[in-house]
Amino acid sequence: MSELFSEAWMQSFMEQWNAESELVDALAQIGFSSVIGYGFEGEEQPRGVISVENGQATAAGSFSGQALNWDIRCSEAQWKKWIAKPPGMMGLGMAFTSGKMKFKVGDYASMLKDPRMAAPFIKSFSVMGKA
């Protein structure tokens, strides 16, 4: 397995993302397009980035200064825990309110209030487990 959020890992994540019709189709229905950064808490920049256009991942790799719509941070241990056993809505909510998950960019609260976005966000964790 490649190092979490490395170039190779992000490429694998993109392939798995696009192979998951439940994720792609749900995001396509709402016209979701974003650049999403993933990284570790305490670091200045995210490590990996995935670009999504109408639900389809179109590019992925190491962060290189891209403008982000979302920048999601957790400890490495927390990421690995969720990759091994994807969280549900309650688990993510608890992680956010307790500070285990941070959004440096993006509005977590508004996303969770919209089930059309919340369900695919949760699904993305199970896709990470396949990367």
Per-residue model confidence as pLDDT tens digits over 57-107: 999 999 999 999 999 999 999 999 988 988 888 888 888 888 888 989 988
Q: Is residue 1 part of a domain?
A: no
Domain containing residue 14: CATH number: 3.30.1050.10
- Tell me the pTM: 0.92
Asked whether 80 and 4 are in contact (CB, 8 A), the reply is yes
Q: Is residue 121 part of a domain?
A: yes
Domain residues for the domain of 119 are 7-128
pLDDT, position 2:
64
Q: How many domains would you assign to the chain?
A: 1
Q: Is residue 46 part of a domain?
A: yes
Lowest-confidence region among 7-21, 58-72, 104-118: 104-118
Q: Is residue 2 part of a domain?
A: no
pLDDT, position 38:
97
End-to-end CA distance of the chain: give it in Å, rounded: 8
Q: Cα–Cα distance between 78 and 95 in angstroms, integer?
A: 9
Q: Is 90 exceeded by the pLDDT of residue 46? A: yes
Q: Is 80 exceeded by the pLDDT of residue 110? A: no
